[in-house]
Homo-oligomer: A and B are copies of this chain.
Amino acid sequence: MEEAIRALTFDVFGTVVDWRGSIIREGDEFNRSHGTSVDWAAFADAWRGKYRPSMEKVRTGELVWTNLDALHRMSLNELLPEYGLENLTEAEKQHLNRIWHRLAPWPDAIAGLERLKRRYIIATLSNGNVALLLNMAKQAGLPWDTILSGELARHYKRDREVYVMAADLLGLPLTQVMMVAAHPDDLQAAKNLGMGAALVRRPLEWGPDKLVQVEAHAAFDVVADDFVDLAAKLGA
């Protein structure tokens, strides 16, 4: 099966970058510079907790197409008063909202991607909007061949339109594209369409107190402990 794979498409939040750790680190700096004492771990979890419900509003048509920057901002507006941050300036709010553009990769991600890029086309396939993913890649040094996003299909994963759009733009049949993610439902959605599926374990996505364990699953063609392990298992 792996012989036929030409391109790898990557989930990003949690799979490539450590959104929770990144928000905590930048938030702690914010506390020091602003003299605040926000619990940024709780803030990060609450913000991310609003992610799926906000996309669901788009999926059901309650909201017209709205990109992730705008959804993040709607969620942020709800959270700020709960954390005593309602008095931030508009510029500060915009800067905070763009923290998702500044997330740091897991330590193995760049080394693994550099190896995988030699053998495969490597592209994002994320619910993040293109600008978010591009700014993140520039800042972090993620060596994508191109940025693919649900934004290009005006759909959010796990809608099938997102995966089909990716294969279509790559000029490949779905069977020659492998989805890489830390999340079984993303992989299952890809697998249902005939794509390959590689699980990369990210037990720390939700922090050390909520270790994520994913059971082996028939939908996974490959299971890897990190991106370097994935490169080895995919012959790159």
Which residues of chain B come closer than 8 Å to A151, judged between CB atoms?
Answer: 169
Closest-CB distance, A13 to chain B (whole angstroms)? 17
| Given A144-B146, A146-B146: A135 in contact with B171 (beta carbons within 8 A) | yes
Q: Which of B121, B147, B172 contacts A146 (CB 8 A)?
A: B147
Q: Specify which of B69, B130, B145, B152 is in contact with A170 (CB 8 Å cutoff).
A: B130
**A134 within 8 A of partner (CB):** yes
Chain B residues with CB below 8 A from A171, complex form = 69, 129-132, 134-135
**Do the beta carbons of A131 and B69 come within 8 Å of each other?**
no
What is the minimal beta-carbon distance from A124 to any residue of chain B, in angstroms? 9
The residue on B at minimum CB distance from A170 is: B131
Q: Which residue of B lies closest to A124 (CB)?
A: B146
Whole-angstrom distance between the Cβ of A38 and the nearest chain B Cβ: 27
**Any B CB within 8 A of the CB of A190:** no
Contacts of A100-151 to chain B: CB distance below 8 A:
121, 129-132, 134-135, 137-138, 144-147, 151
Residues of chain A in range 150-203 having any CB-CB distance to chain B below 8 Å: 151-152, 169-172
Q: 18 A-B residue contacts at CB 8 Å?
A: A69-B171, A121-B138, A129-B169, A130-B170, A131-B170, A131-B171, A132-B171, A134-B146, A134-B170, A134-B171, A135-B171, A137-B145, A138-B145, A144-B146, A146-B146, A147-B147, A152-B152, A152-B169
Interfacial residues, chain A to chain B (CB-CB below 8 A): 69, 121, 129-132, 134-135, 137-138, 144-147, 151-152, 169-172
13 new A-B contacts at CB < 8 Å, known A131-B169, A134-B171: A69-B171, A121-B134, A130-B146, A130-B169, A130-B171, A131-B170, A131-B172, A134-B145, A137-B145, A144-B145, A144-B146, A145-B147, A151-B169
